Amino acid sequence: MQTQKLFDNYVIPSVGRFPLSFVEGKGSWLIEENGGKYLDMYPGWGVNIVGHCHPKVVTAIQKQAAKLLHAPNNYLLPLQGQLAEKIIKRSFPGKVFFSNSGAEANEGAMKIARKWGKNKGKWKFVSMLDSFHGRTLGALSATGQEKYRKDFEPLIPGFSYVPFGDIQAVKEIIDDETCAIMVEPIQGEGGVNVAPENYFKELKNICNDRNCLLIFDEVQTGVARTGEWFAYQLYNVKPDIMTLAKALGGGVPIGAIVAAQNVADVLQPGSHASTYGGNPLVCAAGLAVISVIENEKGLEKAKNVEKSLKQNAEKLKQEFNVIRNVRGAGAMLGIELDIPGQSIVKSCLEDNVLVNCTHERVIRFLTSVFISENEIEITFNALHTALSKI
C-alpha cells in the first residue's frame, strides 16, 4: 500500500496505527482508499460529536475559508468573540482563551492557576491517578499514569496524585501551597471511570476551605458528550477553570480555557498567547457545531444514545461473565473486561467496526450523538461475535 510506505519512510512512529487508510467520512462511517466502509465508534477520539463531515459544519468551513483563514490575535476577530459568548452563555460567567488542542488548553489552565497563586505562595497541584491531561510536558506532569510519564522524567515539579474518587486522600495531600486540584469529570483514557456521588461537591468544598482552584478537564466530556453541554452540569458543581477541545471543533483543531471572571483576569497582555488559537476558520466550525447540537436536539439525543448503549452492554454482561462493569454518560461508554481488550478490537475490526480499548481492559465508545439505533445494533452484534470467540 502506497500510503503505508509513505508512513514507514517519512512519519515518526509515535502512534500505533492500524493498516487502514481512510479518505472520506460521513456520519458514523469512515471510507477507506479501496472503498471499504467502517462503522466508527470513537470518531476522531471523540472529536466528531456531530459525526464525520456534518453538512452544516462543512458548509461553515467552506464559506469561511473563502473569506478569511487567519489573522493575528492582536486584532479583534468577530467569530472568536461570538464563539466565546456561546460558550460562556452555556457554561458559567467568565472569559475564554482559545488554543489548538486539549493539551494546550490544559497547559494554559495550569499557567493561570500558577499565576493566580503566585502572590499567595501557592504553586502545587493535586491530580488523580489514572488521569490523562495530554502529552506535552506540563500536561504530562499532571497525568496520573506512570506509563506515560516515566520516559520523560524529571518532569515539572509540584504535582501529587491521589486515587480518583477518594476524598480522604485529597484532604491528606493538599496543603497551603496547593494552587489547584485538577480532575476529569469522567476519566476517559483511564478507563471511563465515574466518580462516587457527591465527590465533586466535596472537592469544591475542599477548594473553598483551602483557598485553591478547581480545574475540570473536559477535553473528552465537554460539548454535549454526556447529554449536558458540559459534564460539570451533571454534578451541579462549577469549576473555577474548565478546559475544552475535541468536540468543540467538529473535526478541526481547537482548544479552549474557560475561566471564572476573578481567575481569568490574571492573564494580562504578554502572559499567554497562541498564534493560531481562535482563528476565524476554527471558530466558524465551533459555531456550527454548537448550532447543530442546539437545532438538531443533540443533548436529548446524547441521553438516548446513553440509554441504548447501556441497555445493549448490560445484555452482553448478562451473557458473558468476562464483562466486569458497564459505565459512562451520554455518548461515552466503557465496558470493563476481565481480560485484555485487544482481541475484541481485532475481532470487531474484522467485522468493519472500529472500537477502542483503553487502560488495557476497557472497551471505550465516544460516539456521535447522532448515531442511529441500527448502527448501535451493528456494533453490539460485532461485540457479541468477538466475545463468543473467547
List active site positions: 132, 217, 246
Residue with cell 460539570: 232
Q: CA 252, CA 20: separation in Å to the nearest integer?
A: 21
Q: Which residue has the cell 441497555?
A: 311
Q: What backbone phi and psi angles, to 5 degrees, belong to 380?
A: -75, -25
Residue identified by cell 475540570 is 216
The CA distance from 357 to 84, in Å, is 34
From residue 21, how far is each of 101, 148, 344 by CA, in Å? 24, 27, 21
User: What is d(CA 292, CA 203) in angstroms, rounded to the nearest whole number?
Assistant: 34
The DSSP 8-state label assigned to residue 32 in this structure reads E
Angle at 25 between CA 12 and CA 296, to 5 degrees: 125
DSSP 196: P
Provide the edge-to-edge strand list for the sheet that holds 332-337: 323-329, 332-337, 362-366, 356-358
Other C-beta atoms lying within 10 Å of the C-beta of residue 362 = 23
What is the grid cell recorded at 350?
474484522
CA distance 58 to 254: 16
Contact (CB, 8 A) for 221 and 42: no
Cα separation values, 223 from 87, 175, 255, 347, Å? 9, 33, 12, 31
Given its phi and psi angles, is residue 360 left (phi above 0), alpha (psi -120 to 50 degrees) or beta?
Answer: left
Residue with cell 515518526: 12
Q: Give the bridge partners for 144, in sequence order.
A: 129
**Between β-strands 178-183 and 213-217, what pairing exists: parallel, antiparallel or unpaired?**
parallel
